[in-house]
Amino acid sequence: MQDSTITSPDTAADENRLGRAFYAVQSAVLLNGVGTRCGQLAVAWWSLGQTGSAATFAAFVAVGSGAEILARGLLGRLGDTYRPDRLIAACYLISTLLIAGLTGLYFGDLYHSAALAVGLAVIGICNGVREPLQTTLVRSLVPISLVETAMRRRGSVMALSSVLGPIVASVLLGLVGTGATLTVNTAAVAGSFLLMTTASASAEASDDEPRPEEKSQPPLLTWYRSTIDGWRAIYRIRSEFQLAMLALAVNLALFPVFAVLLPALTRRSFPDDTWLIGVAEAAFGVGLLLGSTGPVARRTRGTNTRFTTVMAGFTITGLSILAGGIAAASIDDHLLVLAAALAGSFLIGGVGLIMITVTNSTVRVLATPAGMRNRVTAGVAFLSGLAIPIGNLLGGFLAEHLGEGTAMAVLGLAVLAATAVGAFSPDLRTVLTLPDDDIPDAYTRLYPRAFPQEKVL
């Protein structure tokens, strides 16, 4: 029997207890993350070299990201029906074959816009199916008592990937060119597939067979009803819906900062110093690493103070964006001073964000019953993904009318306002202050209407 007390001591013994399968999955995540960044940059160079059109390349990016976001919202049922480890391996395999095909087209000097768009769309679908599963799978890979530690390790791997990916991609592209960089992408994702085949884990939701009541239904109807059930569950779990809205507010602010506002600010004020963007992004990644490992992680652990940890994380993230905006608006002729101010702000913001994501992910995978776990996780990821296009449009609008620095400050204030509202939510306080032993499957007991098919004990 698994220990139901949720602790996060981060001792060497507990690290070992996470198990070989867990580390195999996270190694696959790291390989895929770095390889995918290589592929993204290589495809950008290939497309821009062939068409000379940034708009065409942007359309390819939109196709891939749009497919990924839709897959999160529409295909979450797969993880509640089939074994997550097998689905993740299948996604890696399909992505490997598609990337290998695009690499072959490049070496054959066969540039086809339609083939590129279809390939990126299918890869996006694989990403959208796989990412929520990798969070859901943690519950099956480690004892309940180590879920929070496992989520921190997963967070550190994601942060390391975000730091290493751009560096490796840019170095490879500069040294060996587009074709070799695409080849590295293919090899990295293939390595992720091989690692996943070694990670044996049983998904709690299913044995790869449809439920008896579903066998008599048309597959499309079964998919439709189960997808609607997932969305209805997210709405009825009031604490989860409110956390999703808070996360959406944070993402609406963060995405345009790095995708729109910092590039626009650099282009306008420091056109010859594009390293400013890299410094800010790297500092944010380092903050994520600090927040998920070492002394900072121990001080921000949310075992007995989850509500405080989450609210502090939202507050710190909002303040970091606000501080970055104030610096960008007030420092316009001292590049090094601005770089230092932005780096400090976003390093602290990275710590704040990991405080949110680790705690929320831990509670979500433990409190949601197995039969709905991946649909809830994927649905929350879908809502977060909506922030990408909406946030970028909002950031552009604010920058045009207020200036980049002021726009950043306004977005930071919006996060702080949303946090203030959330701090008074009785549902959030109830869930995030539950004793450790009461968290597993807590949503079934607290929100029985969200899971009419579950038996409440």
Instruction: Tell whether the model's pLDDT for residue 281 goes beyond 50.
Output: yes
In eight-state DSSP terms, residue 332 is S
Q: Cβ(28)–Cβ(192) under 8 Å?
A: yes
- pLDDT number for residue 427: 93
Q: What is the mean pLDDT of residues 366-389?
A: 88
Instruction: Tell whether the model's pLDDT for residue 202 goes beyond 50.
Output: no
- pLDDT tens, position by position, 43-93: 888 888 888 776 777 777 778 888 999 999 999 988 888 888 899 999 999
Domain range 1-209, its CATH number among 1.20.1250.20, 2.60.40.420, 1.10.1520.10, 1.10.1040.10:
1.20.1250.20
- pLDDT number for residue 455: 52
- pLDDT tens, position by position, 98-125: 999 999 999 999 988 888 889 999 999 9
Instruction: Tell whether the model's pLDDT for residue 424 goes beyond 70.
Output: yes
- Percent pLDDT > 90 in the chain is 43
Q: What is the mean pLDDT of residues 168-179?
A: 86
**pLDDT band with cut points at 50, 70 and 90 for residue 369:** very high
Break the chain into its structural domains and give their ranges.
1-209, 216-457
- Percent pLDDT > 70 in the chain is 88
CA distance 327 to 250: 19
CATH superfamily of 216-457: MFS general substrate transporter like domains (1.20.1250.20)
CA distance 130 to 86: 10
Instruction: Tell whether the model's pLDDT for residue 453 goes beyond 50.
Output: yes
**pLDDT band with cut points at 50, 70 and 90 for residue 33:** very high
* Angle formed by the axes of helices 54-74 and 20-51, nearest 10°: 150
**pLDDT band with cut points at 50, 70 and 90 for residue 273:** confident
By mean pLDDT, which of 89-93, 132-136, 208-212 is the weakest?
A: 208-212
Q: Cβ(385)–Cβ(72) under 8 Å?
A: yes
Instruction: Tell whether the model's pLDDT for residue 201 goes beyond 80.
Output: no
- pLDDT tens, position by position, 12-31: 555 567 888 899 999 999 99
Instruction: Tell whether the model's pLDDT for residue 274 goes beyond 90.
Output: no
**pLDDT band with cut points at 50, 70 and 90 for residue 409:** very high
Instruction: Tell whether the model's pLDDT for residue 215 goes beyond 80.
Output: no
Q: Which DSSP string do the residues of 365-423 spell out, in sequence order?
A: HHHS-GGGHHHHHHHHHHHHHTHHHHHHHHHHHHHHHH-HHHHHHHHHHHHHHHHHHHH
CA distance 337 to 418: 30
**pLDDT band with cut points at 50, 70 and 90 for residue 406:** very high
- pLDDT number for residue 2: 47
- pLDDT number for residue 145: 85
Q: Cβ(188)–Cβ(99) under 8 Å?
A: no
More confident residue, 215 or 129: 129
CA distance 280 to 344: 9
- pLDDT tens, position by position, 300-312: 565 557 899 999 9
Q: What is the mean pLDDT of residues 436-442?
A: 90
- pLDDT number for residue 107: 94
